[in-house]
Structure 1
């Protein structure tokens, strides 16, 4: 059994890591093992979830029963793994918040302003435009 190195982007956490894995592992088992690696725990009920694995280089989603080798995943490929709740699976209800004393904090927020956020006060009229490959971006010196 050959082993391949792949970079994995795990969508639920937004993290990426490199892994050395057996190429004969099927996509569904791979998704579960990756979820356990990124979440740092063994899934208590793996039957509640299904995993979708996408190869970036092949631009396709792997079938659940398809091995990495059979699908054409190669050494150095990037795989995107997403975790989905199976249909009909019940989600534990969110805990009910109890009313209690309100902590003193800053005064009322200005309309359209979210708590904890502040304006950057950047003068967007003094930007320097530069062209990139297929895109235009703004280069703004801060400070």
Structure 2
């Protein structure tokens, strides 16, 4: 099963690394990488684009991860419900993990860096234990 993945993270270096990891894995047939969360939101709300997976950073300028989640949930509930969203962040705050659980569309909370093994779990739609 090959699918599409959207990565939203304002760190250019992380975006390059995760992009190479995704490409080399062969697990996804389409990848879309964004450092601007507003552009990513516009892309995800586009009728023609329905990403299968979103890897979302929380701490970003202009539109943070929480605002992104709220906007996609309110503006396009179909995409929100049918897309597997994983928060991938450097945040170590337990309150962020707890808040993530209040979003039914969020399938997992991952502390950076993401590993090949976690990427494989994501590709196959497995839930991610917050301890990872």
Determine if the TM-score, normalized by the shorter chain, exceeds 0.5: no
TM-score, with structure 1 as normaliser? 0.20
TM-score, with structure 2 as normaliser? 0.21
Rg comparison, structure with higher value:
1
When you count helix as a share of all residues, which structure comes out higher? Answer: 2
